[in-house]
A and B are shown apart, each in its own frame.
Chain A
């Protein structure tokens, strides 16, 4: 069993839709939770970072962490074609990050 599980998709939505991306993890020692966005043939860029259960909002993006269920989510409101990318969850318990497989998202105009 992988330490971090993420549905690889692909996920295709119309412009303006609300997108929900999810990861589950198995190690309760994980403390820090991140979401990265990766455009095709580019390096990942950090989108959101949180370390506590609950919600964290940044513009159209909301990161949600439920430590009791070992479940994290990223919501994208009013999705745009420019949001089309692969989204990677990353979880840390120290100096190392464990990444999910990534979910490929396409937002259609």
Chain B
């Protein structure tokens, strides 16, 4: 059963804490993306990676970090520098040369 999985479904962060969101895909896609979704603002690109061991900042990368050590995995760390982390985080992937992106189920991050 191919697809994109994200975990956890809900995540709670305390002040000053770093948290990591998991994204795994078994679609053999080359590119992976992280978006943040806030009410009334649509999806905004945080980071993306088109190949293993390489990634680029998106429009709102400040306070976030990523790694791409394996083709199927693209974890996102929300650092303590991100002052307003409460949002719905979506991971996506696409095949090289394709414009279409496929999304995971999302992780909702809440601040305690």
Q: Mark A84-107, 1 if CB is under 8 A from B, else 0.
A: 000010101001110111100000
Cβ of A60 within 8 Å of any chain B Cβ, yes or no, is no
A43-B90, A44-B90, A99-B43 given as contacts; is B103 within 8 A of A34 (CB)? no
CB pair A92–B99 under 8 Å, yes or no, is: yes
Query: B interface, by DSSP: helix, strand, loop or mixed?
Result: strand
List of A residues within 8 angstroms of B58 by Cβ: 96
Closest to B58 in A: A96
A106 → B minimal CB distance (Å): 16
Closest to A92 in B: B99
Cβ of A7 within 8 Å of any chain B Cβ, yes or no, is no
Q: How many residues of B contact A (CB 8 A)?
A: 23
List of A residues within 8 angstroms of B41 by Cβ: 101
List of A residues within 8 angstroms of B4 by Cβ: 43
Report Cα–Cα, A44/B89, bound state, in Å: 12
Closest to A51 in B: B99
List of A residues within 8 angstroms of B102 by Cβ: 46
List of B residues within 8 angstroms of A45 by Cβ: 103
List of B residues within 8 angstroms of A99 by Cβ: 42-43
Q: Of residues 1 to 42 in B, which have CB atoms within 8 Å of A's CB atoms?
A: 4, 6, 31, 40-42
Interface residues, chain A, CB within 8 Å of chain B?
6, 8, 31-32, 34, 36, 41-46, 49, 51, 88, 90, 92, 95-97, 99-102
